[in-house]
Amino acid sequence: MSVLVIGSVAIDTIETPFGKAKNILGGSAVYFSLACSFFNKVKLVAVIGEDLKKSDYALLHRKNIHLEGLKIAKGKTLNWHGKYFNDLNYRETLKLDLGVFSDYEPVIPSEYNDCNYVFLANIDPKHQSKVLNSINSYKIAAADTMDHWIKNRRKSVISLIKKIDILILNDSEARLISKEANLFSASRWIQKKGPKVVVIKKGEHGVLLVHGNKFFGAPAYPLEKTFDPTGAGDAFAGGFMGYLSQCSKITHKNLRLATIYGQVMGSFCVEEFGVKKLLNLSKKDINSRVRELRKFSVF
């Protein structure tokens, strides 16, 4: 049992009202993998340039993340420079250099063929579909997407979601793709296209999980300070898929717990710059926060 993730590895420069971090390790596949690694083996598929620091590479290796699918290409690693404003809900991309990511087509190494769980992080939906088709056998496929693809590659996004079991997206994206203002109606619209499970992230308002005709409202962990929101969605997905992949069965109860573990990983992620907090966590910290979240929402 292991989890395969296809996404980006990046070098980020992040500015928030609380400070600035220059050229730090980032990217959807990195946040996902680090969060997921607390629960299961992770097999990463991504591309980097020749400029990624050896220490970053070693860091992923140390965390039980398989790197046979991490291609090193001639050129520069994806480079993103973003700035968050006062309420942290709005960010601006100051610089984006796709580097070796711009003409990358993911290839699954043969060593990865035992993966039961596949997560297609947010990349071009055409590549997400193509790479999913190239995987011989898997049990569950989940994907993330974003407003950019929904607006500009709508057909490809819909063609992708027909093939997957779980779609993870945020509330504005769910409304955008379904053209429904109500999130329950939006999730039914998505389910009709394919995925039995729809996970709608609502930031500080928690998560709505829709599984068949069952709903679950997961609270957000009560955080008084968000330090850096970068990667929170991918850390959520990593916790969600990681927890689910080590369950013997996909029951509604397990999906609820997976959502909670996802929430917890996302809440840790935003407490420090980049992946820093995810590197300094223990399983005990994670389980303790799950208990806190239960206390916060029980009645």
Name the residues that contact its own copies, by CB under 8 A: 86-89, 181-185, 202, 204-206, 215-220, 222-226, 253, 256-257, 259-260, 294, 296-299
The minimum distance between CB 150 and its own copies, in angstroms, equals 18
The minimum distance between CB 58 and its own copies, in angstroms, equals 36
The minimum distance between CB 59 and its own copies, in angstroms, equals 31
Rounded-to-integer distance, Cα 215 and Cα 6, Å: 28
Going by the DSSP 8-state scheme, the letter that residue 240 receives in this structure is H
Let me know: does 80 contact 31? Beta carbons within 8 Å.
no
Output 47 or 220, the one with its CB closest to its own copies.
220
Output 97 or 171, the one with its CB closest to its own copies.
171
Output 147 or 204, the one with its CB closest to its own copies.
204
Output 74 or 179, the one with its CB closest to its own copies.
179
CB atoms within 10 A of CB 243: 26
Rounded-to-integer distance, Cα 22 and Cα 31, Å: 17
The minimum distance between CB 168 and its own copies, in angstroms, equals 18
Alpha helices by DSSP H, the chain: 28-36, 54-62, 125-133, 147-152, 154-161, 171-178, 183-193, 232-245, 252-269, 276-279, 283-297
The minimum distance between CB 113 and its own copies, in angstroms, equals 34
Output 188 or 196, the one with its CB closest to its own copies.
188
Three-state secondary-structure class, residue 295: helix
